[in-house]
Amino acid sequence: MIRKFIKRVLTLGKRPGGETAGREAAVISAGSHGIHHAQISDGSRKVCETLQKDGFQAYVVGGAVRDLLAGMPLKDFDVATDATPEEIRRRFRRSRVIGRRFQIVHVYMGREIVEVTTFRSGAAGEDVHADAHGRLLRDNAFGTLAEDAARRDFTVNALYYDPVTERILDYHHGVADLRQKTLRMIGDPRTRYREDPVRMLRAVRLAAKLGLAIDPAARRPIREMASLLENVPAARLFDEMLKILTCGHAVRCLQDLRAEGLHHGMLPLLDDILTEPRGEKFVMLTLASTDARVRSGKSSSPSFLFAALLWHQVRAAWERAQAAGEPPIPALYQTMGEVLDLQGEKLAVTRRIAGDIKEIWALQPRFQQRAGRRPYGVLEHPRFRAAYDFLGLRVEAGEVEAELLDWWTRFQDADGETRAAMLLPEQSGKRRRRRKAARKTVNDTLAPCMPDKPAGGNP
Catalytic residues: 76, 78, 153
Q: How far apart are CA 220 and CA 435, in angstroms?
A: 67
CB 199 within 8 A of CB 205: no
CA 294, 300, 305: angle at the middle one, nearest 5?
115
Q: What is the DSSP string of 382-443?
A: TTHHHHHHHHHHHHHTTSS-HHHHHHHHHHHHS-HHHHHHHS-HHHHHHHHHHHHHHHHHHH
Helix axes 302-323, 277-295, angle to 10 degrees: 160
Compute CA distances 446 → 205, 290, 435, whole Å: 69, 58, 17
Which residues, at least 6 apart from 62, have a Cβ–Cβ distance to it below 8 Å?
A: 78, 80, 152, 157, 158, 159
CB 247 within 8 A of CB 320: no
| Helix ranges (DSSP H) in 276-373 | 277-295, 302-323, 328-344, 351-366
Q: Residue 378 class from Cβ within 10 Å (0-12 exposed, 13-18 middle, 19+ buried)?
A: buried
C-alpha distances (whole Å) from 54 to each of 4, 8, 15, 83 are 6, 7, 14, 10
Compute the residue count for the chain.
Answer: 459
Dihedral sign, Cα of residue 260, residue 266, residue 270, residue 271: positive
Residue 372 zone, left/alpha/beta (φ > 0; ψ -120 to 50; rest): left
Is the dihedral angle over the CA atoms 187, 192, 195, 199 positive or is it negative?
Answer: positive
Task: With CA atoms as reference, report the closest residue to 310 among 254, 270, 347.
Answer: 270
CB atoms within 10 A of CB 159: 29
Distance, CA of 40 to CA of 37 (rounded, Å): 5
62-293-289 Cα angle (round to 5)? 115
Bridge partners (DSSP) listed for residue 98: 104
